[in-house]
Each structure stands twice: as C-alpha cells, then as structure tokens.
C-alpha cells in the first residue's frame, strides 16, 4: 500500500495547522466501541448472547454505512446509566488493559508525534463516546478529543447524549463549533480516517488521508487523488 503524507513547506505567521485523527481502525487496530461490548459480554457484565448479537449487528451496520446512531447510542449508553462511576471506571481500566493496549499501533504514535513536533494542533475526532475514548487519547498523548458526549446528571450517566453525536455529518458540526471556540480554521488541515462514514469531514480538510481504508473509501481516495497509507505492520 502506498504511503504519502503531504506537509506544507512552512507555517507562516499565525497560521495554525490542524491534524485530525479518526480513532477506530485508524489509530488503533480495531474498533473500541465493538471491543467494549465484547469486554462486557466476556466478563458477564451483560447478557452475553444478546449483547454479542446486538453488538455485531450495529457494527455491521456501521461498516455498511447504515448505522442508526441514535438507536446504537440508546443500546450502548443504557449500561452506563445502570452503574455508578466507580464501578464503570474500574471496568474501563480493565478494558483498556485487555482490549486496547494490545491494538495500539506504533506507526500511529510516530505519525502523531511527527505532527506534534511540527507544532500542529492535534485532535482525535471519533463517533465513539468519550467515556471509552478519553483514556485512549491520553495513551497517544493527544490533548484534544472530540467525541460523542454522554450526559451526566448528579454524578451519574443518564443514558442520553449532551449534543449531536460525533458521527458522519455530526463530526463536521461538532468540529465547526470547536474551531469557532478555538479561533482556528481548516485552512491547513489533515484528517486521517479508515471509514467512508467520515467522507463528510474528509471533504472539508485541505489534506484528506485514507488510512487502511474500507473499500468504499479506498475507491473514493483513488478517484480523487487522495493519499492512501497504512499504519499496520
């Protein structure tokens, strides 16, 4: 697989370069949403057969570009609402050790560090909720995380989200709000993603990069002359 990353020659004046990274199957060698469900089922926290079946159904819909994000979030976030924070945080620590550390990608860290060394603003932007993804962003040393945000009330998750899910067009909307608050633009920007679900945002940045892409995104990248690269060994 060819690898190509286009950097501008220089950053001039106060121009800020922004490097955006999808998470699942881009910076990690798997899907953190799906693996969270697997962890819950394997540890007997949920009804294994039912949860595995539904988890797979939603994941297949995501890959096909047919996911009803609101239906999925009702399914996934209901568990957060059923348990206290201490219990959830303990499960999350175990999940990160069992499911996430083994699929961190060394080449992803090199890519992140190359942008960091240039002084770029680094952002992980993912449909997966922030409860799951915040510790993964920390492992990679990425300060900014834009994710689907579960709602918290009186110290517990409610099972709802605080705003638009960070998915498909929702990523564009969520990023636009963040950029306005930061006083930044996408004039010099990269977005690294594996999924055709991210085409709305890939089409907004100045440097879209397909990373180990699905077949739909791969063909789109080829048709539009976008670089295609791999972070896998």
Domain spans in the chain, listed from the N-terminal domain onward: 17-229
The pLDDT score that the predictor gives to residue 15 is 61
From 22, 31, 33, 194, active-site residue? 22
* Mean pLDDT value of segment 101-111: 98
Query: Which pLDDT belongs to residue 62?
Result: 85
Q: Find the largest Cα–Cα distance for the chain.
A: 57
Copy the structure tokens of residue 17: 């370069």
Residue 192 has pLDDT above 60, yes or no: yes
Q: Of all residues in the chain, what percent carry a pLDDT higher than 90?
A: 80
Indicate the pLDDT class of residue 118, thresholds 50, 70 and 90.
Answer: very high
Contact between 71 and 64 under an 8 Å Cβ cutoff? The reply is no
Rounded distance between C-alpha atoms, residue 189 and residue 19, angstroms: 6
Nearest to 78 by CA among 38, 42, 37, 49: 37
pLDDT of residue 84: 96
Q: From the options 3.30.300.130, 3.30.2420.10, 3.40.50.1000, 2.10.25.10, give the CATH code of 17-229.
A: 3.40.50.1000
Q: What are phi and psi of 178, to 5 degrees?
A: -65, -45
* Catalytic hit among 24, 120, 194, 198: 24
Is 113 catalytic? The answer is no
223 is annotated as an active-site residue: no
Residue 4 has pLDDT above 50, yes or no: no
Query: Average of pLDDT values for 8-25?
Result: 72
């Amino acid at each position: 697989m060819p690898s190509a990353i286009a950097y501008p020659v220089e950053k001039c004046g106060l121009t800020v370069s922004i490097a955006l990274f999808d998470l699942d199957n881009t910076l990690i060698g798997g899907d953190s949403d799906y693996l969270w469900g697997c962890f819950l089922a394997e540890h007997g926290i949920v009804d294994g057969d039912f949860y595995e079946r539904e988890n797979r159904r939603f994941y297949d819909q995501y890959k096909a570009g047919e996911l009803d994000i609101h239906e999925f979030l009702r399914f996934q976030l209901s568990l957060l609402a059923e348990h206290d924070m201490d219990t959830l945080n303990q499960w999350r620590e175990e999940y990160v050790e069992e499911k996430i550390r083994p699929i961190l990608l060394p080449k992803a860290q090199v890519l992140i560090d190359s942008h960091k060394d240039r002084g770029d603003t680094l952002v992980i932007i993912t449909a997966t909720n922030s409860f799951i993804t915040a510790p993964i962003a920390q492992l990679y040393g990425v300060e900014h995380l834009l994710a689907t945000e579960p709602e918290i009330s009186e110290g517990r998750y409610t099972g709802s989200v605080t705003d638009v899910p960070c998915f498909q067009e929702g990523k564009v909307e969520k990023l636009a709000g963040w950029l306005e608050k930061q006083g930044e633009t996408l004039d010099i920007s990269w977005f690294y993603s594996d999924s055709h679900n991210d085409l709305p945002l890939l089409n907004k940045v100045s440097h879209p990069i397909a990373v180990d892409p699905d077949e739909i995104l791969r063909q789109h990248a080829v048709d539009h002359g976008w670089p295609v690269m791999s972070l896998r060994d």
